[in-house]
Amino acid sequence: HTCVFVLQFKYNGKHYPIPHPTQYKDVWDQDHVRMPCSHMNEYPVKDKDGKSVVKRRWAIIEQALKGNIPGPFELEEVSRDERIHFFDVTLKKIVNLALMLPHLITQPIPLLKKNRNQSLSLSQQQIASLLANAFFCTFPRRNAKQRSSEFSNYPTINFNSLYEGYPVQKKLEKLKCLIHYFRRVTTNMPKGTVTFERQCVPNDKFPDWKNLDTKLTKLHVSAEGTIEDDGEGMLQVDFANKILGGGVLGQGCVQEEIRFLICPEMLVTRLFTECLEKNESLIMYGCERFSKYDGYAQTFKWDGNFDDKTLRDEWGRLCTDVVAIDALVIREFGRQFKMDQIRRELNKAYCGFLSHGMKAENLSAVCTGNWGCGAFGGDKRLKALIQLIAASYAKRDVCYLTFDDKTLRDELAEVHQYLTKTNPLGIGNILTLIQQYEKNVVSRKPKKSKYSVNLYQYIPRVFDGTLEMTDSEPDTPTWDDSDSNETRYMLAAQDSVEAENTADDTKNEVKKNDGNKTTERPKSGEKPAVQRQESKDYKADTP
């Protein structure tokens, strides 16, 4: 764990964390961020006699930033008053913040490389200075796009892609979020800290999913609300790209990109986080939210200031934990039901939900939604069940938000009740059912036709005897007297089902604390701020 401020810091809201060490320490190698203020960051220029000389790039940056800076094209679209205030006030403050870099970041920042468990803690002031430099595109070797370039396996960090190209309106809204962030921090710099943890699980440490008897944990499901608004006190899921932030500095503007825009401190992960491997996640502790927003994707708009009232721990980190996990991009819809792809997604989700050294009763619930669906092409029902399974083995409850999809809400509620109350099944048996569904429904679907039954409709029909036989179906499997009723039902799974399904809402209690991290985090047993739904006949303890 690398801490770029004095470790004895204890948050009181009055004092900034002190950079550590007191004097700038310069390192220029492949294991650390190559800083714009490094003595080794050099650039050839012509002197007054026309001769080529090598000059420190930081001196050039200082000279350029202290001069008059012309406005980028996008700012021509904003109102005259906003433009004048930006160039006369805000921009000058961003310049000063950027030039404070060698005084605020006094030790080399390690790269969070793949296949390593590493943590990095920065003050919010240090992050702001790093992002100010990204705003002015000062980070060296980060604009090269060749596969052979040093940082080809890292996200871009310089903001130049926001200042060029189309669509102008979407990029303008992104810039509004970022400029608002800089206006806030240069007016009243927050005094807290943020921790970024790269979590890697060795491949031989993942469970043998098909042989687990672990039962599903509690579930709250709602069609209303968002993860950032209603996931207070819970482990919030970022539907990530393996290149963190995805298209946030380009054209992308969906779940992950929006989260990075309203919580710009997350953008700094792009400076030091190598792309995630299949057994890795990144957890961000304490990133502050600065903006409201409206819309999604093409309709996204900055919607004003957001005052984040979340409690802080003793290090000044907001009690907001966000885990970035990247789902598979589905190119062939039916392929995701194969066990190899299911195992990959289970491992990825488990890697994000796992917490070392914490008692189960102190683990917060996972607040998530349609991970890996939408642009990534995943099946909502399968992905929800995968996340439930992974969270259950990680000993976490789940708060699932379906984002206005009431049908999914009801079906997920019903299948959870079925698998936990009506006919309790362990993880291994649930995965067997999914395999049966792939074999008997997915793999037999004629091209360009719809599935005769979805996964959640299929599961209870295996047990209630309503599966219909057709001439094209294989013979019913046989069993001996030693087989359990549960096994018999699964062996009897057939294809071609036409059935209507009614579903109920579920409201199980979920936990929302992170009890062992610090004393100021929410206490065990507190309930999440999530929307209540009317249940039909599935009544449980409700949040």
Which residues fall in the annotated binding site for substrate?
241, 255, 296
List Cβ neighbours of 78 (8 Å cut-off, separation of 6 or more): 86, 172, 176
If 0-12 CB within 10 Å is exposed, 13-18 middle and 19+ buried, where does residue 300 land?
buried
Strands 193-200 and 118-123, by their bridges, are: antiparallel
Helix ranges (DSSP H) in 212-359: 227-230, 255-262, 269-272, 339-353
If 0-12 CB within 10 Å is exposed, 13-18 middle and 19+ buried, where does residue 195 land?
buried
Residue 256 designated active-site: yes
Q: Which segments are annotated as binding site?
A: 241, 255, 296
Residue 303 designated active-site: no
Q: How many CB atoms lie within 10 A of CB 200?
A: 18
Of residues 74, 173, 228, 238, which has the active-site annotation? Answer: 238
Residue 471 designated active-site: no
Nearest to 321 by CA among 191, 182, 227: 227
Q: What is the C-alpha end-to-end distance of the chain, expressed in Å?
A: 36
Please, are residues 243 and 157 in contact by the beta-carbon 8 Å criterion? no
DSSP per position, 74-86: GGGGS-HHHHHHI
> Which backbone phi and psi does 56 adopt, to 5 degrees?
-65, 130
Q: 205 to each of 350, 351, 538, how far by Cα in Å? A: 11, 10, 37
**Measured on CA atoms in the order 82, 85, 86, 90, is the torsion positive or negative?**
negative
Of residues 257, 397, 495, 504, which has the active-site annotation? Answer: 257
DSSP state of 301: E
Degrees, nearest 5: CA angle 394-398-400:
140
Q: How many CB atoms lie within 10 A of CB 306?
A: 18
Of residues 173, 197, 232, 256, which has the active-site annotation? Answer: 256
Catalytic residues: 238, 256-257
